[in-house]
Structure 1
Amino acid sequence: MAVDNIDPAGAEATLPVRRKQPKQQLSNGMEHMRNYVTVSEATPPPPSQITAGEDAYGVPATYEPVRKPATTDATENNPHKRSDPFQFGTRYLEEGDDIFAHNAWDHVEVDPQYADFIEQQTSFQRENQVNDFDKKRFNTQPEKWWDKFYSNNQANFFKDRKWLVQECPVLGEVTREDYGDVTVLEVGAGAGNTAFPILAMNRNEELKLHACDYSKKAIDVIRAQEAYQMQEPKVLQADVWDVASDELSPGLVAGSVDIVLLIFIFSALSPDQWQQAVRNVFTLLKPGGEVFFRDYGRGDLAQVRFKKGRYLEENFYVRGDGTRVYFFEEQELRDIWTGKPPSGPIDAQGNCGDDAYRLAFEILDLAVDRRMLVNRQRKLKMYRCWMQGLFRKPAERGKSRNQV
């Protein structure tokens, strides 16, 4: 008989109690980021000792965000410090606040030191860019890299966008039971993380929802979902379409769409594709139709953390999986979506026959969404930056007005 569990006195020994190990602060693959994203209780090194380079992969913890003067107190009835507890975007980081009191802070401005860090890191990336052979490889048929992405991840990578109605209230209106005939087009639908939430909340029998992506595999993933196959009546139609192609989306004609959704899709296009993409969106929209836009902003963590061999061209990168991403700034988007007023003849749909002109949308809203996300348990902080806009196709020529 084995005696490994018997004590010297002959009594059965008690097995040792295994203590629960504390959760690892950083994974082994992220250990090189420690000096850049962790907040230490010890006195941090001066910023001069943190240099941009291969290891400058995240957010320097020594760079404190700019805090606003204290104006709102956290109370028992309003612990989140919101002017409206049910509305995002109003949790401001103020003087005296504990950074780790909440998981996220809204409208957090980075300080000049961190802005300098972004410039240093961008210079490093620019000096260590993708070689010419790989640039051609990644820029040729970019959809094949997304096919590979969705083959590997199916519908499991992205979360459903439950914030859609909050950020784009018109979606709440057009899905009401009594709204009537309306057509919504989502460009870059991926695995359906926008389309399916809209479908689930829809009560409008006259809604037509088109979801398009230039990845055939992504559309296969959407079509394979039970929610897609069991539609009755059929509201959602998913098709393969490249928004920067010379053809319009399957099942749609010029001037037939009320709302276009562009959510983290424009950044996947190369800059030389933007004008054709805008042209196609403009052509598909009815006069007065609107575009809801959300994408990456300049200086976002996703841009700052790129290391060697990811820089394709200015603000345009390739990820480790071969997919591409661009980071925008506000004025750049204004230039892309407003352009010059049409100079050629206008057809019945409000489209211009002069190929030389740039399409002019009204900008109803365009702003930078800055946020600081934190991991309270692991004492990490991350600066995020997104661009969000609402654009409208003019109802009549000559009445376009850039309102903001």
Structure 2
Amino acid sequence: MASSNENLEEKRPLFGNRILTNNDNVFQHNAWDNVQWNDEQQKLAEKKVAENSVISVTEDQLEKYEKDADKYWDEFYGIHQNRFFKDRHWLFTEFPELAPDTVKYHSNSDAGDTASDSKASRNNDDHENCTTKELKIFEIGCGVGNTIIPILMYNINPNLFVYGCDFSSTAIEILKEHKEYDTSRCKAFVLDATQSEWNPPFENESLDIILLIFVLSSIHPDKHKHVIQQVYRYLKPGGLLLFRDYGRYDMAQLRFKKGRCLSDNFYARGDGTRAYFFTQDEIRNLFIESNFEEELNIVDRRLQVNRGRQLTMYRVWIQAKYRKPLK
């Protein structure tokens, strides 16, 4: 059963409303929204990035990171299986478009809602009130399903179908073994989103929503534009792209050691996987240059708190929504 603190944390509204006004209260919650940095914090972050941005890898190493990217992620999922990332139950708070008028969702899901509960919810009396509109969702870089599984669990639209791709075959195999993976409602497949031509199980301009959730950062910056152009190709006119990823000066960027930088703001972790850290303008330019219309582009600066260990961690994420124009 969730504690009162957990329930308070999970029931928070869209970020931006939990503001820390008194530092003495910092450990009252698990996270604080829209944390503003002072000049000293900003300069310290810039200094740390300057220090860890010295590029010392060879051309051969750079080529290996790119060539073997799928192998590094296969090894990652082979080791961690589905235990490393938590299911993203916060999706319906930040992106309510994923379950419009169809969601049987309790905000304490992270504290213990079960798959059996979700199946029951799809068969209760609320089912007759859900929309019958077809909804096709596609996640690029779905991993082991930390986004797809919550959508399948809580979106009760009988005409929902979710696609997911990843270039790690190991991740796709793990996803297909999940008890919530239902071939009548979803299809996961192996695809390298950076390859020049895709061969997905759907047609051009056939998708309502495409998700890029902490995946574009793992791709070489030179290939970002190609991925966005493919997104545009497969979205319906009026379709929506939902984006969330690492922002510049996020804690993860500041923690990189010297020798891990591959190019500006692009790093290799110790396990060979990579991460890029975006600015709002970079994301805006990527999408606008590919003819998208901007609906949202914000920086989510959040102070996360480990109340047990009395630690604070500054996170910076970019959250955005872009729409393909109607013809």
* Class of the TM-score when normalised by the shorter of the 2 chains: 0.7 to 0.9
Distance of 1:335 and 1:170 partners within structure 2: 24
How much does 1:174 deviate?
A: 6.9
Q: How many angstroms does 1:246 deviate by?
A: 2.2
1:313 corresponding residue in structure 2: 263
The Cα of 1:386 is off from its aligned counterpart by 0.2
**3-state SS, counterpart of residue 49 of structure 2:** helix
Q: What SS does the corresponding residue of 1:173 show, helix, strand or coil?
A: coil
- 2:207 aligns with 257
Confirm or deny: 8 A CA contact 1:91 1:105 kept in the other structure.
yes
What runs of 5+ residues in structure 1 fail to find an aligned partner?
1-79, 340-358, 397-404
Equivalences for residues 197-216 of structure 1 within 5 A? 197-216=150-169
Matches within 5 A, 1:364-375: 364-375=295-306
Q: Does 1:384 align with 2:312?
A: no
Whether 1:108 and 2:35 are equivalent positions in the alignment is yes
- Once the two structures are TM-superposed, the CA of residue 241 in structure 1 deviates from its matched residue by 1.1
Q: Structure 1 289/324 Cα, relative in aligned 2: closer, same or farther at 3 Å?
A: same
The corresponding residue for 1:49 is: none
Aligned equivalent of 2:133 = 180
Which one has the bigger helix percentage? 2
Does the 8 A contact of 2:136 with 2:207 survive in 1? yes
**Mapped partners of 1:200, 1:217: distance in 2:** 22
**1:331 aligned residue (281, 299, 305):** 281
Q: 1:319 to 1:205 in 2, by over 3 A?
A: same
Pair 1:246–1:270, CA change in 2 (3 A): same
Cα distance change of structure 1 residues 221 and 174 upon mapping to structure 2, 3 Å threshold: farther
Q: Which residue of 1 aligns with 2:87?
A: 160
Q: Which amino acid aligns with 1:116?
A: K
Structure with the bigger percentage of strand: 2
The 1-side partners of 2:85 and 2:138 are apart by 20
Task: State the match for 1:219 in structure 2.
Answer: 172
Q: Distance in 2 between matches of 1:327 and 1:294?
A: 11
Contact 1:248 1:284 in 2 (8 A): no
Q: In the alignment, what sits opposite 1:125? A: 52
Using structure 2 for the length normalisation, give the TM-score: 0.85
**Greater displacement, 120-129 / 179-188:** 120-129
Q: After TM superposition, give the deviation of residue 96 of structure 1 in Å.
A: 5.9
Q: Could you tell me how far apart the structure 1 residues matched to 2:90 and 2:34 are?
A: 17
Question: How many angstroms does 1:207 deviate by?
Answer: 1.2
- Cα gap change, 1:144/1:96 in structure 2, threshold over 3 Å: closer, same or farther? closer
Q: Which one of 69, 89, 102 corresponds to residue 16 of structure 2?
A: 89
CA 1:203 to 1:120, structure 2 compared with 1: closer, same or farther past 3 Å? same
| Deviation string, structure 1 residues 163-183 (Cα, Å, up to 9, x no partner) | 111111111117463232121
Q: CA RMSD in A?
A: 2.0
Paired residues, number = 294
CA distance in structure 2 between the aligned counterparts of 1:128 and 1:379, rounded to whole angstroms: 34
Decide which of 149, 156, 164 is 1:196's aligned counterpart: 149
- Unaligned stretches of 5+ in structure 2? 1-7, 104-129
Taking structure 1 as reference, are residues 174 and 249 closer, same or farther at Cα in structure 2, changes over 3 Å only? farther
- Return the offset for 1:85: 5.7
SS of equivalent to 1:227: coil
> 3-state SS of the aligned residue for 2:239?
strand
Going from structure 1 to structure 2, the CA distance change for 1:372 and 1:129 (only over 3 Å counts) comes to farther
Q: Note the C-alpha offset of 1:86.
A: 4.8
Q: Return the TM-score normalized by structure 1.
A: 0.69
Give the partner amino acid of 1:297. G
* 1:147 lines up with 2:74 in the alignment: yes
Q: Deviations over 1:36-79 (max 9, x none)?
A: xxxxxxxxxxxxxxxxxxxxxxxxxxxxxxxxxxxxxxxxxxxx
Change (3 A) 1:244 1:97: same
Whether the 8 Å CA contact 2:246–2:316 is kept in 1: the answer is yes
Q: Which has the higher contact order (CA 8 A, sep 6+)?
A: 2
Q: How is 1:335-374 mapped onto 2 (pairs within 5 angstroms)? A: 335-339=285-289, 359-374=290-305
Equivalent residue in structure 1 for 2:233, among 255, 258, 283: 283
Does structure 2 conserve the Cα–Cα contact (< 8 Å) formed by 1:174 and 1:182? no
Residues 377 and 181 of structure 1, relative CA distance in 2, 3 Å threshold: closer
Structure-2 change in CA distance of 1:85 and 1:369 (3 Å):
closer
Partners of 2:188 and 2:12 lie apart in 1 by 37
Structure 2: distance between partners of 1:335 and 1:96:
37
